[in-house]
Structure 1
Amino acid sequence: MQASFFITRQIRIHNFLEKTKKKKDAKVEKREGDESGAVEKEQEKLRRKVTELIRKQKLPAVRRIVKDYDESRPWSQEAKAKVGSRLIELLIHTAYIQPPADQLCEGPPDIRPAFIHTALSITRVDKKTSRRYGVIKCDPVVLKGLERSARHMVIPYMPMLVPPVKWMGYDKGAYFFLPSYIMRTHGSKQQREAMKLASKAQLEQVFEALDTLGSTKWRVNKRVLDVVDRIWNSGGRLAHLVDRDDVPLPEKPDTEDETLLKKWKWKLRNAKKENRERHSLRCDTELKLSVARKMKDEEGFYYPHNVDFRGRAYPMHPYLNHLGSDMCRGILEFAEGRPLGNVGLRWLKIHLANLYAGGVDKLSYEGRVSFTENHLDEIFDSADKPLEGNRWWLRAEDPFQCLAACINLSEALRSSSPETYVSYLPIHQDGSCNGLQHYAALGRDTLGAAAVNLMAGEKPADVYSGIAARVLDIMREDAQKDPTSFPDALQARALLDQVDRKLVKQTVMTSVYGVTYIGARDQIMRRLKERGTQLDDSQTFGASCYAAKVTLTALEEMFEAARSIMSWLGECAKIIASENQPVRWTTPLGLPVVQPYRKLGRHLIKTSLQILTLQRETEKVMVKRQRTAFPPNFVHSLDGSHMMMTAIACKRAGMNFAGVHDSFWTHACDVDKLNTILREKFIELYDAPILENLLESFEESSPTLTFPPLPERGDFDLREVLRSTYFFN
């Protein structure tokens, strides 16, 4: 009670002093000479009076004075830092610990501070300079206690047991009591203001889409959770779960050989890095499982959604949700079931084949159904004895989701009437390299449309295999060259047996979202290391550099129209940002977007503990960041719009719907209806002159600037999407 009273009193006094200072400043600006001095004298007199009353502990008198000035307005960053530092200082001065009884020895008790404020010197990367930082260290006894209690920590934004409040404004909706904002603005003042100024009518479709996503009722799949718990309690390591044990650190060799010592240091650094990553993954897994265990006996729960600044929707609860890992998705299922019917039974078989993957997901639908029917023995065994049997499900790319599908299909086939079996499993329809699909539609690119399944085909076109084939052709040509005049010939020869769709998949996926040469190199390097090739670290690095260059070349050849649109978007952004303005646009659903990339300045604040250096957004935009981020952000705003349009239409059709960016989920019996709706909404989205509207908005907001002409576009007929079986599949 005393601490609470002290904090409340400090807040009220702070507000009072801030108010008097602001009043003084306002009056000083209006008056000159003696008047200014009189105001300052009056305010200083009032400050001394309040300080004296506090010293004499005459709190009622202070309250009477402060009452007229106390306002419930947001605190400034400086005020938060000062009050927070003062509270930490009080904690340091009052928090003490005594070791456990079994550690006590004769003599005076070892009572020591629980927290210590000290300085830490950190050497910079160049190893030439160091900098001192103030840090708060906690006693090892406190640290152990925190580690033990971490799994019992309070997670405020849990799933809701009742439907979320409908969105009505920037900060009106979702949770009943917790602060809820419709957009994650990441501190960007311009984005926040744009959202607040947008009318309710303008954001009506965004509100409806988020309400639709939030109204989907979920529950925990107890059978899958039980398997996860068994694996986790036995040490992890299976089904992509992290190993609960650390990697043993290599012993230092008893030698003075610099080469051996260097190798030991390299191995030691890698082992420590691996252990840090494992620790992080273990913490993440524990948080997800703690939520699953807490919610497993609930009949159902809901995920309120909001959007990022580009318009992509996310559950507000951060841990156990359907946007998470395979483990999270396997644990979750719809709380409301629907009979499969003949259509649903077929889609359940296709869904299981998609989850098993390994190339099976690239077969025709009939081929996927046949795959599932040819593995019914393994499917039944997986459902009946997931850990004691043959463990066929563990070979899937998405093992826990595959296990959930095995259980669901087994129960349906063993029932007296599989078509009337009530299924709770979400069935996914995923876009085929969705970013490139949006670029192909924007550019009406016939060649690109065929590569990413916007056009009908007997079986799904696989853009990743197409790029991999072109990469292999280039490497074969390079491998024939003389290494003395063309050094990359050696890299080409080393990689000939490594090139496949998996090597290039991540780079192709992220190419439309602005992946750089360095990003592509790192992606390919990770794939090579996962395979355990015979190449050492330096050889792997060189091979990755070469492979990244060839992959990006192949992409430019196959998706020339997408590259021209990306270049046009980047050039427009550069022109706008060069005038020190952020790039702004409005999505097809009316959501205002302002790119937040501004240079950060340093702001020094003197507190009771130390001087703090805080980052503060300046008025200077980051030109390069505005340019490079605009193409991927713009496409993300379009795929977010497509998902929201589909969500609204599904709701009006009486269907359950969940969305994970370019993956749309519904009950098995409703997949055919979902497929029709998402194709119709894609055509509706791109029937509008999106690039023309964007250029017009740029010219209206920056009439003095000259923008490049729109890129040329092809003659692809968007209506072809309606006939494309594998557009989403």
Structure 2
Amino acid sequence: MYSALRHSGYDKGGYLFLPSYVMRTHGSRKQQEALKGVNVKNMRKVFEALDTLGSTKWRVNNKVLAVVESIWASGGNIAGLVDRNDIPIPEKPYSEDSTEIQEWKWSLRKANKVNRERHSQRCDTELKLSVTSLTLPCVSICALLDGFYFDASPVARKMENEEGFYYPHNLDFRGRAYPMHPHLNHLSSDLCRGVLEFAEGRPLGRSGLHWLKIHLANLYSGGVEKLSHDGRLAFVDNHLDEIFDSAENPINGNRWWLAAEDPFQCLAACMNLSEALKSTSPLSTISYLPIHQDGSCNGLQHYAALGRDNLEAAAVNLVAGEKPADVYSEIAVRVHNIMKRDSNKDPATNPNALLAKLLIDQVDRKLVKQTVMTSVYGVTFVGAREQIKRRLEEKGHISDDRLLFSAACYTAKVTLAALGELFQAARNIMGWLGDCAKVIASENQPVRWTTPLGLPVVQPYYKSERHLIRTTLQVLALQREGNSVEVRKQRTAFPPNFVHSLDGSHMMMTAVACRDAGLYFAGVHDSFWTHACDVEKMNQILREKFVELYSMPVLENLLESFETSYPSLVFPPLPERGNFDLLEVLKSPYFFN
């Protein structure tokens, strides 16, 4: 297929024939007006980044796809695939006992909910697999599903030797890039990522073999990804027999790869590494596999750079260390300590004491990870409670739903308290951003700003208005954007949206620089991908671009833009910041790793 059209305006670029827009505005008039009104020259860097992402050519990894198809045909229910069978519906008890009837109704609702979820997941899996089959060997499903029209026979001849496809990209309103094609793409699940690879291969080389092994260890996870690089290499070398078995006999062998956190991606890495190590010239083996370098709790990394706090910077790997600092484990230790104190209190006066005793042995890194990760993006208590509730359900130690709810509430409260202790500077910046947003929204204005790459952003949170359309048959009531802003939403959403606009800027700056250096590049927000042989160069670039981004007076520029746009309003002073030296990032091996 052809690569995406180059972007040159609000509605120019992306798909060849379908209408496509540089941003998903979801009907926000203010955001559309801001984009249409900006000088195209000011958007040049944004357009370049989207063009770079859209020029990366992909193909389907047929070996991994064959394994997926085999598992799916056998009923799924392993490697993260949903079970193709429903769970049994509980039979109504013959008893007239109200307690038993109530328990049955509760079980019935729960079974029906699970079965509805399974049905939805099965449909999603079937769609993804049908997409992969349509892309084999040469036709882009991006074209087929999104409305391309062509005569089949000449295209078939023209595409006979074509083995790849492209993903045009556009932005959400905060400036984060996404593929326009929604179904099979590299931002999706482990299944999608496992069956996708670069269409162009490059020889591994010594550096590439090194990074392929580290990539495999990262995908296996289970704590391995928190070892030093040498520790990860040793892990892979100690499991070569399992890796070879996984590659050669993934279905009927020992199936070591299934224990990985990302099993299909791990299997793809096993196959690539096995091919290299069993060849006569491992360093010359051609690798098509995207190798990931991921940020370490990236939202907090951006806050640490904004606040220049030395302790926070060290906690999220902006400073070099012998092994990665693990903020999730640090928070888990703090949560455990709080629960230990609570468990020693009198249950008669402190009802949390019993919950603490129940939960103290269940606290681990995984329990708090999602809440820590999303805390800087504005996760609420309710959101944290639901995240932790899902983790507790996975552990399976608490079967009573009411007790599970109480346990999740308590754990969420303790986790958020532990976060506040460790990341005070980040909290101060979040508070300042929220206070600025409140000042603006109180004047019935949306919060707006311009990213470091020149993208205008307008928060789209307005109260909806009903619009009645009367016909001869009926009256239709439509919801549309009103003229009054949602003050609370403008305030609470601004800190996470602002940081998202900064991580989007970092990714786009890195994408363009990698293109200029001759590297293949794909990005998933805070996860940057390239060929194994080019990881070291990409690592250098992404660190340089992070330092370049935060060498700008980001918060000062933001405050100046607010004071210029709203001269009659008074904004709070900037929060105090530390003296962390940003150049330390250039020497930190685990900043992205």
Q: What residue in structure 2 maps to residue 388 of structure 1?
A: 252
Residue matched to 1:557: 421
Q: Does 1:207 align with 2:47?
A: yes
1:265 equivalent among 101, 105, 112: 105
- 1:436-489 CA deviation, whole Å, 9 max, x = no partner? 000000000111101100001000000000000011111111111111111111
The answer as to whether partners of 2:302 and 2:499 remain within 8 angstroms in 1 is: yes
Residue 495 of structure 1 is aligned with which of 356, 359, 370? Answer: 359
Q: Retained in 1: the 8 A contact 2:7–2:22?
A: yes
Secondary structure at the counterpart of residue 613 of structure 1? strand
Q: State the alpha-carbon separation in 1 of the partners of residues 581 and 469 from structure 2.
A: 60
Query: Secondary structure of the equivalent of 2:41?
Result: coil
> 1: distance between equivalents of 2:404 and 2:180?
40
Q: In structure 2, what is the equivalent of residue 45 of structure 1?
A: none
Does residue 254 (structure 1) correspond to residue 94 (structure 2)? The answer is: yes
**Map of 1:173-188 to 2, 5 A cutoff?**
173-188=13-28
Q: In structure 1, what is the equivalent of residue 409 of structure 2?
A: 545
1:684 aligns with 2:524: no
Letter of the 1:270 partner, please give it: K
Q: Deviations over 1:678-725 (max 9, x none)?
A: 000000000000000000000011111000000000010000001111
Q: How far off its partner does 1:537 sit?
A: 1.2
1:365-444 equivalences under 5 Å are 365-444=229-308
The letter of the residue matching 1:628 is T
- Report SS of the residue matched to 2:570: coil
Residue of structure 2 equivalent to 1:318: 182
Amino acid at match of 2:482: T
- 2:464·2:481 contact (CA, 8 Å) conserved in 1? yes
Question: Which residue among 597, 622, 628 is the counterpart of 2:486?
Answer: 622
* Overall identity of the aligned pairs, in %: 72
Q: How does 1:649-728 map to 2 (within 5 A)?
A: 649-728=513-592
Cα offsets for 1:104-153 (capped at 9, x unmatched) = xxxxxxxxxxxxxxxxxxxxxxxxxxxxxxxxxxxxxxxxxxxxxxxxxx
Q: 2:321 aligns with which of 436, 454, 457?
A: 457
The alignment status of 1:349 with 2:220, answered yes or no, reads: no
In structure 1, the residue matched to 2:201 is 337
Which residues of 2 match residues 163-242 of structure 1 at below 5 A?
163-242=3-82
In 2, Cα distance between equivalents of 1:680 and 1:481: 50
Determine if the alignment matches structure 1 residue 448 to structure 2 residue 312: yes
Which secondary structure state, in structure 1, belongs to the residue aligned with residue 484 of structure 2?
Answer: strand
Q: Are residues 1:244 and 2:108 paired?
A: no
**Matched residues in 1 for 2:58 and 2:298: separation?**
26
Question: Which of 265, 285, 296 is residue 125 of structure 2 equivalent to?
Answer: 285
One-letter amino acid matched to 2:374: T
> 1:203 is paired with a residue of what secondary structure?
helix
Residue 103 of structure 1 corresponds to which residue in structure 2?
Answer: none
- Equivalent position amino acid for 1:386 in 2: P
2:475 and 2:87 map into 1 onto residues whose CA distance is 40
**Map of 2:149 onto structure 1:** none
Q: Find the aligned partners of 1:569 and 1:653 in 2 and give their Cα distance.
A: 36
Letter in 2 for 1:297: P
Alignment of 1:148-163 (within 5 A): 161-163=1-3
1:30 — aligned with what? none
Give, as a single letter, the amino acid of the residue that structure 2 aligns with 1:707. Answer: F
Please, which of 514, 524, 528 is the counterpart of residue 388 of structure 2? Answer: 524
- Which string of whole-angstrom CA distances, capped at 9 and with x for unpartnered residues, describes residues 569-625 of structure 1? 000000100000000000000000000000001111123442111001110000000
State the shift of 1:667 in Å. 0.2
Q: CA deviation at 1:251?
A: 0.5
One-letter identity of the residue aligned with 2:373: M
CA distance in 2, matches of 1:233, 1:175: 34
Q: 1:641 aligns with which of 474, 497, 505?
A: 505
Q: Distance in 2 between matches of 1:296 and 1:507?
A: 39
Report the counterpart of residue 471 of structure 2 in structure 1: 607
Aligned-residue offset at 1:637? 0.1
- Determine the C-alpha separation between the residues in 2 that align with 1:711 and 1:229: 55
Aligned equivalent of 1:504: 368
Instruction: Extract unaligned runs of 5+ from structure 2.
Output: 139-162
1:250 counterpart SS class:
coil
Q: CA deviation at 1:534?
A: 3.7
Deviations 1:229-282 (A, max 9, x none): 111111111100011111111100011100000000000000111111111111
Consecutive unaligned residues in structure 1, runs of 5 or more: 1-160
Supply the distance in 2 between the matched residues of 1:283 and 1:606 (Cα, whole angstroms): 37
Secondary structure, counterpart of 2:42 in structure 1: coil
- Number of aligned residues: 569
Q: Is structure 2 residue 471 aligned with structure 1 residue 471?
A: no
Letter in 2 for 1:172: K
The CA distance in 1 between the partners of 2:331 and 2:7, in whole Å, is 43
Instruction: Give the counterpart letter for 1:228 in structure 2.
Output: V
**Alignment deviations for residues 186-236 of structure 1 (CA, whole Å, 9 cap, x no partner):** 100000110011111000000000000000000000000011111111111
Which residue is 2:157 aligned to?
none
Secondary structure of the structure 2 residue equivalent to 1:201: helix
Structure 1 Cα separation of the partners of residues 316 and 504 of structure 2: 19
The residue aligned with 2:147 is none
| 1:102-181 equivalence runs, <5 A | 161-181=1-21
Distance 2:241 2:387 in 1: 37
For 2:576 and 2:330, the matched residues in 1 are separated by 25
Instruction: Give deviations 1:331-354, integer Å, cap 9, x for gaps.
Output: 000000000000000100000000
**CA distance in structure 1 between the partners assigned to 2:127 and 2:447 by the alignment:** 37
Matched residue of 1:601: which SS? strand
Distance in 1 (CA, whole Å) between partners of 2:181 and 2:384 is: 31
Q: Distance in 2 between matches of 1:249 and 1:315?
A: 39
The 1-side partners of 2:399 and 2:412 are apart by 17
2:181 is paired with a residue whose SS is coil
- Structure with greater contact order relative to length (CA < 8 Å, sep ≥ 6): 2
The CA deviation string for residues 2-48 of structure 1, in whole angstroms up to 9 with x for no partner, is xxxxxxxxxxxxxxxxxxxxxxxxxxxxxxxxxxxxxxxxxxxxxxx
* Structure label with greater radius of gyration: 1
Q: Answer yes or no: is the 8 Å Cα contact 2:398–2:404 preserved in 1.
A: no
Q: CA deviation at 1:535?
A: 4.7
> Residue 655 of structure 1: SS of its match in structure 2?
coil
Q: Which amino acid aligns with 2:215?
A: H
With normalisation by structure 1, the TM-score equals 0.78
2:399, 2:348 → 1: CA distance? Answer: 21
Instruction: Tell me by how many angstroms 1:545 deviates.
Output: 1.0
Q: Specify the code of the residue in structure 2 equivalent to 1:725.
A: P
Q: Secondary structure at the match of 1:184?
A: coil
Partners of 1:438 and 1:243 lie apart in 2 by 39
Q: Distance in 1 between matches of 2:343 and 2:399?
A: 17
> Aligned partners of 2:371, 2:4: CA distance in 1, in Å?
38
Read off the aligned partner of 1:206 and give its amino acid letter: V
